[in-house]
Chain A
Amino acid sequence: MNAPVLEPALRHTTLDHLDWLESEAIYILREVAGQCSNPALLFSGGKDSIVLLRLAEKAFRPGRFPFPLLHIDTGHNYSEVIDFRDARACELNERLIVRSVESSMARGTVRLKSADESRNKHQSVTLLEAIEEFGFDACIGGARRDEEKARAKERIFSFRDEFGGWDPKNQRPELWNLFNARVHKGENIRAFPISNWTELDVWQYIAREGLALPSIYFAHVRPVIRKGGLLQPVTELTPARDGDVVEQLRVRFRTVGDITCTAPVESDADTVHKIIAETATSTITERGATRLDDHASEAAMEQRKKEGYF
Chain B
Amino acid sequence: MSAIEHIPEFGSRVDNGLLRFLTCGSVDDGKSTLIGRLLYDTKAILADTLHAIEKTSARRGMEAVDLSLLTDGLQAEREQGITIDVAYRYFSTGRRKYIIADAPGHEQYTRNMVTAASTANLAIILIDARKGVLTQTRRHSYLAHLVGIPHLLVAVNKMDLVGYDRTVFERIRLEYLAFARQLGIKDVRFIPLSALNGDMLVDRGENLGWYKGPTLIDILESAPAAHSESDERFRFPVQYVCRPQKADDPLLHDYRGFMGRVESGEIAVGDEIVVLPSERRSRIKDIQIGGRTLPRAVAEQSVTLLLEDEIDISRGDMIVRANDKKLCPGAPASGTVSTRTALATRRIDAMLCWLGESPLDARRKYLIRQTTRDARALLDGISYRLDINSLQQVAAEGIGMNDIARVAFKLAQPLVVDRYVENRATGAFIVIDESTNNTVGAGMIL
| Chain A residues with a Cβ under 8 A of chain B | 1-4, 6-11, 13-24, 26-27, 30-31, 33-34, 57-64, 66, 145-146, 149-150, 152-153, 168-169, 171-178, 180, 182-184, 187, 195-196, 198, 200-201, 203-204, 207-208, 273, 276-277, 280-285, 288-289, 298-299, 302
Contact B47 A2 (CB under 8 A): no
B62, CB-defined interface residue at 8 Å: no
For B221, the chain A residues whose CB sits under 8 A away are 8
Contact A177 B425 (CB under 8 A): yes
Cα of A149 to Cα of B213 in the assembled complex, Å:
34
Q: Supply 9 A–B pairs (Cβ within 8 Å), ascending by A.
A: A1-B177, A23-B301, A61-B291, A175-B430, A176-B118, A177-B119, A182-B437, A204-B8, A276-B10
A7: nearest residue on chain B (CB-CB)?
A: B222
B383, CB-defined interface residue at 8 Å: no
The answer to whether A14 and B16 touch (CB under 8 A), given A153-B74, A153-B85, A285-B48, is: yes
For A59, the chain B residues whose CB sits under 8 A away are 259, 302
Contact B437 A3 (CB under 8 A): no
Q: How large is the interface on B (under 10, 10 to 19, 20 to 34, 35 or more residues)?
A: 35 or more
Cα of A195 to Cα of B88 in the assembled complex, Å:
10
The answer to whether A145 and B75 touch (CB under 8 A), given A175-B115, A180-B439, A207-B10, is: no
For B218, the chain A residues whose CB sits under 8 A away are 6
Closest-CB distance, B438 to chain A (whole angstroms): 6
A33: nearest residue on chain B (CB-CB)?
A: B240
B244, CB-defined interface residue at 8 Å: yes
Contact B242 A145 (CB under 8 A): no
Interface residues of B in 344-377 (CB under 8 A from A): 355, 369-370, 372
Cα of A4 to Cα of B437 in the assembled complex, Å:
50
For B439, the chain A residues whose CB sits under 8 A away are 172-175, 180
B283, CB-defined interface residue at 8 Å: no
4 residue pairs, one from A and one from B, having the closest CB atoms: A2-B213, A288-B48, A58-B290, A26-B302
Contact A13 B242 (CB under 8 A): no
B287, CB-defined interface residue at 8 Å: no
Contact B244 A63 (CB under 8 A): yes
Contact A152 B73 (CB under 8 A): yes
Query: B369: which of A15, A21, A180 is its contact (CB, 8 Å)?
Result: A180
For A27, the chain B residues whose CB sits under 8 A away are 239, 260-261, 302
Cα of A275 to Cα of B430 in the assembled complex, Å:
42
A22: nearest residue on chain B (CB-CB)?
A: B302
Query: B8: which of A63, A150, A200 is its contact (CB, 8 Å)?
Result: A200
The answer to whether A284 and B301 touch (CB under 8 A), given A10-B224, A177-B425, A198-B90, is: no
The answer to whether A180 and B437 touch (CB under 8 A), given A15-B301, A277-B9, A299-B75, is: yes
B245: nearest residue on chain A (CB-CB)?
A: A63
For A169, the chain B residues whose CB sits under 8 A away are 76, 84
Cα of A24 to Cα of B263 in the assembled complex, Å:
11
Stretch at the interface among B21-29, B138-146, B158-166, B225-233: B225-233
Cα of A177 to Cα of B302 in the assembled complex, Å:
13
Closest-CB distance, A294 to chain B (whole angstroms): 10
Contact B17 A17 (CB under 8 A): yes
A58: nearest residue on chain B (CB-CB)?
A: B290
Closest-CB distance, A5 to chain B (whole angstroms): 8
The answer to whether A16 and B17 touch (CB under 8 A), given A150-B73, A178-B369, A299-B75, is: yes
B436: nearest residue on chain A (CB-CB)?
A: A184
Cα of A284 to Cα of B243 in the assembled complex, Å:
46
Contact B49 A60 (CB under 8 A): no
Contact B315 A34 (CB under 8 A): yes
For A61, the chain B residues whose CB sits under 8 A away are 290-291
Contact A4 B244 (CB under 8 A): no
Contact A1 B97 (CB under 8 A): no
Contact B227 A13 (CB under 8 A): yes
Cα of A31 to Cα of B49 in the assembled complex, Å:
34
Contact B115 A173 (CB under 8 A): yes
For A204, the chain B residues whose CB sits under 8 A away are 8, 10
Contact A180 B432 (CB under 8 A): yes
A196: nearest residue on chain B (CB-CB)?
A: B99
Cα of A289 to Cα of B47 in the assembled complex, Å:
10
Query: A288: which of B46, B225, B261, B266 is its contact (CB, 8 Å)?
Result: B46
Closest-CB distance, B87 to chain A (whole angstroms): 4
Contact B437 A145 (CB under 8 A): no
Contact B8 A4 (CB under 8 A): no
Stretch at the interface among B126-134, B183-191, B270-278, B328-336: B183-191
Contact A196 B90 (CB under 8 A): yes
Contact A8 B10 (CB under 8 A): no
B214, CB-defined interface residue at 8 Å: yes
Contact A280 B7 (CB under 8 A): yes
For A298, the chain B residues whose CB sits under 8 A away are 52
Contact B214 A17 (CB under 8 A): no
B195, CB-defined interface residue at 8 Å: no
For B214, the chain A residues whose CB sits under 8 A away are 2-4, 6
For A31, the chain B residues whose CB sits under 8 A away are 239, 372
Apart from A10-B228, A150-B74, A178-B428, list 5 A-B contacts with CB within 8 A: A6-B214, A10-B17, A60-B242, A169-B76, A198-B92
Interface residues of B in 416-446 (CB under 8 A from A): 424-425, 428-430, 432, 434, 437-439, 442
